[in-house]
Amino acid sequence: MSQSDWDVMHSIQNGLITVIDVKVKRNVKLFRKWWAMMRMLCDQVDDGSGGPMFRDKEHASDFILIKTRFCEMYFLPDGTGVVRPDHINWESCSPAKFERIWSAALPVFCDLLKVDEELIEKNLIFYM
């Protein structure tokens, strides 16, 4: 469960019958790992002047998705180009796509944190 799922579950009154319809299998561990990585990036990566590079985990996620080209470009009526990151939310991201995103993002994580994959794996547990 994500934090928002947890909040929704806690908003349901005790004794209330609740039906949940699970339609597609999801990789819960990888989703948790993704958001833990976003928290790590928020804590560890600065903008060069000592301030944080990312304002929150969603900002970090958008940056990674755009950097790894999991995004789309569209144009406003005035001709201005806008880049919109793909969705990585639970409902719309298939396990296969999520695996591709993680594989593409891992080198970006290493570059931003200036460490190797092994060190990331060892420290990610502190953000889960």
Domain boundaries, the chain: 24-127
Handedness of CA 34, 71, 26, 22 (dihedral sign): positive
Q: What is the pLDDT of residues 33-72, one digit of tens each?
A: 899 999 999 999 988 888 889 999 999 999 999 999 999 9
The pTM for the full model equals 0.74
